Amino acid sequence: LGRADYKWMLANVARQWTTPGRLSRFAFLSLGVQTQYNYEGDRTDLDFHSGLNATLKNYWNTGVFAIVRPSYLNERLTRGGPTVKNYGYNFLGMNLSGDQRKSLVWGMNVNLSKGRDNDEGQRYALFPSLTIKPTTSVNINIAPGWDHDWTAQQFVSPVSSATAPAGFDGTRYVFGRLEQRTFSVDTRVNATFTPNLTLELFAQPFLSSGHYTSFKEFQKPKSGDMTIFGRDNGSTVQTNKNVDGSTISYTIDPDGNGVAAPFMVDNPDFNFRSLRGTAVVRWEYRPGSTLFLVWTQQREGFDDFGDFQFGRDRSALFRDRPTNIFQVKATYWLGR
C-alpha cells in the first residue's frame, strides 16, 4: 500500500458507435468526474473530464481529451507540513495518427494546460512519432518529445524560523516557480530473422533542465494565498554567485526592515541528462528451450546551469561514464 488516508470516488458515462457512419468507422465518447477526500474531510482532488476518440473513414485515428481541475487541498505539497491549497489547471490533449496498416505510420500528440487561480502555471508539449515497416519482419519506431512546463508551486526547501507564518510550527516552506524543459527520443527496432531468432533494440536520450524563479511561501494553512519574496511585504531576494558567475544560493529577507531574520536557500536549478539503451537477442534453439543475450548501457549526468542548451547538454551526455550490464539467460525444456 503506497498511500492511506483517502477516499476516492469516480463516475464515468460513455457511449460508443461501432457501426461505420458518414465520418467515422468507430467512435467513443466519455464524460466523468472524480473526487477524493482524506479522513479529516478535506477534498484533496477534484476533476471533470471528457474524451472523444474516433477511427475515421480513411483509417486515421484521432482523439481529444479535456480536464477541468479546480484548485484543491494538498496535504503532501509541503512534504510533511500543514495542508495547503494546490492551484488547479485546465488541460487539453489532442492526437492524430495515420493508417496503422501502412508501411509508414505517423502520429502527433499535443498537450496544453493553463493554471487556474494563478497565471504562473502552464504547459506546452509535443510528441510526434513515426513508425517504419520496411518489411513484414522489421518494425522501427521513432518518437521524439518536447515538453515545456511551468509549475507555479514547486517545493524548494523547509527553513526553520521563529517568525514563520502562523500555523506552520516555526517552519517556512519555501516554494518557487519551476520552468522545466525536457527533450527525449524513444527509438525502438524489432526484427524477426526467423520464427526462432529475434532482435529488439531500445534507446532513449533524455535531456532536461529546471530553472527556479518567484520564490514564495504560503500565508496560512489550507489556503492558496502566497507571499512572493522580492515583491510583497518589503521582502528582498539576493542572488549569491560563484567566482565563475554561476549562482550558488539565494539570501531571502522575508520582510525587509522587519523583525524576521534573513535566510538562505541553495540554488535549486538543475540539468539532468541520461542515455539508456538495451539490446535483446532471443534464440529458441529447440522447441521450448530459449537463450537470451541482453546488453544494457546507461549514462547520466547532473549540472546546475538551469538553462537548456541542446548542443552543450548533448555533448556532455556522451562524455559521461557509461555503465554496461551484460546478461545471459537460458532455459531448457525437459519434456519429451
CA distance 68 to 63: 17
302: helix, coil or strand? Answer: strand
**Amino acid at position 126, single letter:** L
Q: What is the pTM of this model?
A: 0.90
The C-alpha cell that represents 196 in the structure block: 526462432
**Average pLDDT per 10 consecutive residues for the chain, totaling 336 residues:** 90 96 95 96 96 96 98 95 96 97 97 92 97 96 98 96 94 97 98 96 97 97 95 94 92 92 96 97 94 97 94 93 96 85
pLDDT of residue 2: 82
Helical spans, DSSP H, in 116-194: none
How far is residue 170's CA from residue 273's CA, in Å, rounded to a whole number? 37
Q: Which three cell numbers stand for residue 168?
A: 506552520
- Strand bridging mode 263-266 / 171-194: unpaired
CA 14/CA 32 separation, integer angstroms: 9
Per DSSP (E only), the strands in 161-196 are 171-194
Q: Is 163 left (phi over 0), alpha (psi -120 to 50) or beta?
A: alpha
- Using DSSP, state whether 116 is helix, strand or coil: coil
Question: Of 54, 35, 53, whose CA–CA distance to 45 is shortest?
Answer: 35
Assigned C-alpha cell, 285: 534453439
CB 294 within 8 A of CB 278: yes
DSSP state letter for 161? -
Is 310 strand, coil or helix? helix
Instruction: Give, as one character, the DSSP assignment of residue 311.
Output: H
Spatial distance between the Cα atoms of 95 and 54, rounded to a whole number of angstroms: 11
